Every structure is written in structure tokens, then in C-alpha cells.
Amino acid sequence: MSEEGFAAEQIDTSRAHPARMYDYYLGGQDNYEVDRVAAERVVELLPDIHMAARENRSFMHRATKTVVGRGIRQIIDVGTGIPTSPNTHEVARSIAPDVRVAYVDNDPIVSTYAGAKLINDGNAAFALGDLRDPKAVLEHPAVCDLIDFEQPAALLLVAILHFIEDAADPAGLIRAMTEPLAPGSCLVISHGTRDLHPPERLAEVGKVYSGSTSTLTLRPREQILSFFEGFDIIDPPGLVQPPFWAPEAPVPDDPMLRGLGFYCAVGVKR
């Protein structure tokens, strides 16, 4: 699927990578020793991280079904991660078979796996691109060929924004990515928060990620909420932790679920 040219040596297996650490949290096989060691250190600090990853992924599935249920037929999934079945296009097409999905990630290893595992049937494609360069993402042929900017689209920024430092202006990047979207388009965000775990433990988690290929910037709820400027958040459920975003079954009264360090929401462009 990927038409990106890069050498195998570009795939850095000497340092942990967040995409492969996330794959490990989800129980996947697409990770190396260096990722497992780093991920296990995070598990020691945050024993709920496996559950957080699964709940985040489950939110992504429900949010995708919701936006497709609202009539959206085109999705840009930025920071898509190593393919994990079901992927966005599979979830979307369980509701409407004609949904088009442009996948974007800045990691060559994700691109390699995307080529091997995502179905390229003409209605799904992968772009090697970086959220910190929105113009290049929006102008990438894989995005331009699939997305009609005259029609509403959904932009998925699921578990990616906490890898964008404040200095890179995440709010400005979101504005740049959503400005060309038609009214009625949806913005789907999940974001790691610093509100729900002790700061000293999160500082240690930050150190693990700073030894990886990305840094981690966990944010408070209010700042995550501000990323939806120009969008009406679908409320209920509002901006909540993943298990509580439109659950398909009653959520058990589990303190671990209530403590998961992510917030997520879906907004509709005015």
C-alpha cells in the first residue's frame, strides 16, 4: 500500500518507539526487545496502561461508528499506529461499505506494516506524514485523492497529540488540519492526561518516553477541551475518559476504569 520510499535502516530498533510500545500494551506482536523493556517499565509505574490502551482503542471504534452513523463517508486517521485489527476502515465499513480512509503516521515502521496489513482497495491509503507539517499532510496524494474537502470528513487524532510538544503548538496544528474541512465535519480526539495519576509517577513515565523516539506531554482536561475550539462537542457523552464515551454495555463500577489517564471526545464543526 505504501508508496513511500525509505530504507530498512531508517527503522530505528535501537530505541523504544511509542507505536511499538502501544502495540505491546495492546498485546500485539509487532514490537522489539527495546520496546518491551520500556513498556514494562511503564507498566510498573502505571499498571492500568494495558487497560488504558484497550479502552482507547475501543473508544476509537465507537467514535468511528458514530461519525459514520452521522453520514460521514471519509476519514483522515492521523497517528494511526501499527495496524491492529479491526482497523479504522474495517470498523467504518461495518456501518457503510463506501467509506474512504486516508491513514497518516510519521513512523516508517508503521508505513511498512501498513503496506503489509492494510487492504489497499482504492478506498484506503497510507501517507507517511507528520502532524507537525499539516500542509504536507493535507497535500499528500494519498489524502488529496481520497478526501473531497467540499464534503464533511472526520479527522481522527487518537492518542497522538500527547506526542506533540507545547512548543509545536498543538492547538495551531489542529486549526490548520481542520480549517479546510467542511461544516459538519467531525474531530475525534483522545489524549493522555496528567490529571489522574501522581505527578512523580508521571515524571518517571515521561523519562521512559524521553529515551524513546518521542517525548510525552500529558495535558490537563481544560487544555484538551480547548482543542475543540470551533467544534460543538457531542454531549452527552462530552469530554470523558474512554470507558464512559458512549459505552455499548453498562460500565462496571471499577476504580481502575475511573482512574484511566485519558480524555476523549468527538466534536462537530460549526
Ligand X SMILES: C[S@@+](CC[C@H](N)C(=O)[O-])C[C@H]1O[C@@H](n2cnc3c(N)ncnc32)[C@H](O)[C@@H]1O
At 231, is the secondary structure helix, strand, or coil? strand
The answer to whether the Cα torsion of 132, 135, 136, 140 is positive or negative is positive
Nearer to ligand X, 82 or 225 (CB): 82
Q: What is the CB neighbour count within 10 angstroms for residue 124?
A: 25
Nearer to ligand X, 120 or 213 (CB): 213
Contact 74, 147 (CB under 8 A): yes
In angstroms, rounded to a whole number, what is the distance separating the alpha carbons of residues 63 and 240? 13
User: Binding string to ligand X for residues 191 to 230, with x set by CB under 6 A, is what?
Assistant: -----------------------x----------------
Q: What kind and span of H or E run contains 116? A: helix 108-117
- Alpha carbon separation from 24 to 43, 168, 223 (Å, rounded): 11, 27, 28
Report if residue 81 touches ligand X, rule: CB under 6 A.
yes
Report if residue 18 touches ligand X, rule: CB under 6 A.
yes
In angstroms, rounded to a whole number, what is the distance separating the alpha carbons of residues 74 and 91? 13
Report if residue 39 touches ligand X, rule: CB under 6 A.
no
Nearer to ligand X, 111 or 150 (CB): 111
Q: Name the minimum Å distance from CB 63 to ligand X.
A: 10
Report if residue 65 touches ligand X, rule: CB under 6 A.
no
* Closest residue to ligand X: CB criterion: 81
Nearer to ligand X, 63 or 146 (CB): 63
Report if residue 30 touches ligand X, rule: CB under 6 A.
no
Please report, as ranges, the residues that interact with ligand X according to CB under 6 A: 18-19, 22, 56-57, 60, 78-81, 105-107, 110, 130-132, 158-160, 163, 214
